[in-house]
Amino acid sequence: MTKLISQRVIASLLSLLGLLILVFFLSRLTGDPAVLFLPIDATEEMKTQFRALHGLDLPILEQFGRYVWDFVHLDFGESLRKARPAIDVVLEAYAWTLPLAGITMGLVVVAAIVLGSLAAFNVGGFFDRLVSIVSLIGASAPDFWIAIVAIVVFAINLSWLPTSGVGTPWHWVLPIAVLFIRPFGLIVQVVRGSMLTALSAQYVKTARAKGVKNLPIIFVHTLRNAMLPVITVIGDQAAAMLNGAVIVETIFGFPGIGKLMIDSILQRDFNVVLAAIMVTALAIFIMNILIDLAYGLLDPRIRN
């Protein structure tokens, strides 16, 4: 297992390096930030001054060399638009994205595992059909529409919840609820399918023959064996959330990493783009390692 993790870490570091090179040069290909930062009737002198102030007038390889030198010293440079250290801007956004993603995925995992397992156990029954219909609707409904309808119904018409923002725990309810729906729909289907396979195994029949009750059969004997594909999908969905939830962040005014990244790309704020991608990549690499550990915990064959 240690060898596996070590290999993962080395591969992740190499991937980070490749990502750094790719993102640096690709972002430079999008054009000149001075054009977007300055007004359309700005003089050429103003544009030249802006480029000189931010080192954008240097040869591209020199810019890259300086960036790498600063990067190894954990200096991501300054945001072109916000005139602040890019890493501060990114970490502030991440401080909102991490809890949003964490709470949502926590709820999704618990709900999907419990409901998916029970649906599989009652396959073909009313509960199974209900879970299947709800999960299919959830997996296919557009986030944007759900978010707007949720605001109109729960914030404006019923006045139960705030429309948007982050001031109180109540502000988190609608964003989490909207974010919850799609991954729940997907994961509950995977849990159900995986559990159906596991429940048909011989050891389950043996357990039943020995008089083991239903709930221990589901959650003690079967679930662990059904979890490997589920963890893979959970990891995939969690990685998507760590990249930010652009639509939910945009509609609910949630200051997370997704909207920051999109805005920074559109505004050519190179340093923020690079810092955001590096921090996101780091978070995803860490999560992947945790998933590898989870595989090992669940399946001794991987551990050995």
Binding-site ranges for another protein (CB under 8 A) = 30-31, 35-43, 45-46, 49-50, 52-53, 79, 81-84, 88-89, 91-96, 98-99, 102-103, 148, 151-152, 155-156, 158-170, 172, 250-253, 255, 266, 268
Query: Contact, 288 vs 8, CB < 8 A?
Result: yes
Residue 204 or 262: the one with the smaller Cβ distance to another protein is 262
CA distances from 7 to 10, 12, 212, 280, 289 (A): 5, 8, 42, 20, 10
In the complex, what is the shortest distance from the CB of residue 161 to another protein, in angstroms, rounded to a whole number?
7
Question: What are the φ/ψ torsions at residue 175 (nearest 5 degrees)?
Answer: -55, -45
In the complex, what is the shortest distance from the CB of residue 298 to another protein, in angstroms, rounded to a whole number?
25
Residue 35: in which H helix or E strand, if any? helix 33-37
In the complex, what is the shortest distance from the CB of residue 52 to another protein, in angstroms, rounded to a whole number?
8
Residue 78 or 128: the one with the smaller Cβ distance to another protein is 78
Residue 63 or 79: the one with the smaller Cβ distance to another protein is 79
Q: Which pairs with CB-CB distance under 8 Å and at least 24 residues apart come from 29-33? A: 30/265, 30/268, 31/268, 32/56, 32/268, 33/80, 33/267, 33/268, 33/269, 33/270
Residue 162 or 235: the one with the smaller Cβ distance to another protein is 162
In the complex, what is the shortest distance from the CB of residue 204 to another protein, in angstroms, rounded to a whole number?
37
Residue 161 or 231: the one with the smaller Cβ distance to another protein is 161
How far is Cα 121 from Cα 115, in angstroms, rounded to an integer? 10
